[in-house]
Amino acid sequence: MDIAERLNKVNEYYFSKKLREIEELKKNGCDIINAGIGSPDLPPDSSVINELNEQSLKNNVHKYQSYKAIPELRNAFSLWYKNYFNCNLNPDKEILPLMGSKEGIMHISLAFLNKKDKVLIPDPGYPTYEAAAKIAEATIIKYDLKEENNWLPCLKSIEEKNLDNVKIMWINYPHMPTGAFAEEKSLHTIAEFGKKHNILICNDNPYSFILNKKQKSLLQFRKINDQILELNSLSKSHNMAGWRVGMLAGNENLIKTVLKVKSNMDSGMFYPVQKAAVKALSLDEKWYDSLNRIYNKRRSIVWKIMDLLNVKYDEKSNGMFVWGKIDSKNSIKFCDDILYNHGVFITPGDIFGKNGNGYIRMSLCCNEKTLNEIYKRLIK
């Protein structure tokens, strides 16, 4: 059977292949520590789990749900954005809960992109932006993020490209994989850039609470440019990655357009999960503080590991990873040597784009005992 032509340009996700290889190594007796993926190992708050359990025992909660989710969840997301991001969002018109924000990247791409359209994608950046654009059969234009510019886009350089038919620009701050932070001035300038060139700016914002006290949203600048969409998620901020709870926010017309795609791809989120998400969003700052105390201790050990490997890193970066520069330009070989010789998986920067060459990324989703074991292995 011939596959769809659109898939000829799409490769299997790097982590999908690498985790399969790691499983094979384990079957052959290798003890592998995975320090490459940002999948939180900590549980959600106990009140969130209790809410899920209590709601699941009810008889009338197992049916299909609304494509727009229950009103309580939309209201909870709206209050969350008001309290932490200083954004007023209409919960009925400007918020669309999602089954994880990753699906939102695909929904947005399918909702707005035609074959002749172009997409601005950061390099380095989350590989799913590129994959979604390819599946939508759009043309990809990479824009450079460089360490010397604090991993922020140089809009002047982007304007030197042919921006005809550019429909979407993806940004992601706090940035993955580098941990770079965008101040209000930078976000303001990006919003103006989108307005000037009639480009839909999509901000992917799931790392805003990890080792970061200054939550920022591109939606703060909707008075400048209303052609803005923002994705967020409970995966990292509330340790609910496997629960698949995210959100999309933007003006009513944009949300309605995305809903046309979403409503044809799922049948709503499990009701008890929605109720538990409402509980999670009601947690106060103590939850984020306690979470970040743990990540801060872990990061100190990862910095020690980076020092051992002679890797340079920025102590001011935030998010769920430590991004570091190695002496070699071949980060794939660097990481594979560590995997095969020491049983530790670290992510090579190459997979995030050409500007990731010579960098590595290490996750904070391993406990202190495991991270100390990595340090011991690498010493040997």
For residue 15, pLDDT over 80 is answered with no
- The model carries a pTM of 0.93
Supply angle C-alpha 47, 51, 52, rounded to 5. 120
The per-residue pLDDT for 19 is 80
The per-residue pLDDT for 8 is 75
Q: CA Rg, the chain, in Å?
A: 21
The per-residue pLDDT for 230 is 98
Helices marked H in 86-214: 101-112, 127-135, 155-159, 184-197
The per-residue pLDDT for 5 is 77
The overall average pLDDT reported for the chain is 94
* Domains in the chain: boundaries: 5-43+285-379, 62-281
Phi and psi at 174, nearest 5°, equal -55, 140
For residue 23, pLDDT over 90 is answered with no
CATH number listed for the domain at residues 5-43+285-379: 3.90.1150.10
Q: Look at the chain and count its residues.
A: 380
Element (H, E) at 247: strand 246-250
Task: Write the pLDDT tens digit of every residue in 308-337.
Answer: 999 999 999 999 999 999 987 789 999 999
The per-residue pLDDT for 7 is 76
For residue 367, pLDDT over 90 is answered with yes
- In the sheet with 321-325, reading across from the earlier edge strand, the strands are 312-313, 321-325, 359-363, 347-348
The per-residue pLDDT for 309 is 94
Helices marked H in 86-219: 101-112, 127-135, 155-159, 184-197
Q: What is the mean pLDDT of residues 133-137?
A: 93
CA–CA distance, 262 with 201 (Å, rounded to integer)? 20
Asked if CATH classification 3.30.70.20 holds for the domain at 62-281, the reply, yes or no, is: no
Task: Write the pLDDT tens digit of every residue in 220-247.
Answer: 999 999 999 999 999 999 999 999 999 9
Question: 370 with 362: CB under 8 angstroms?
Answer: no
Question: 222 with 89: CB under 8 angstroms?
Answer: no
Cβ-based burial of 23 (10 A; exposed 0-12, middle 13-18, buried ≥19):
exposed
Q: Which residues make Cβ contacts (< 8 Å) with residue 196, sequence separation at least 6? A: none
Q: What is the DSSP-derived secondary structure letter of residue 42?
A: S
The per-residue pLDDT for 59 is 93
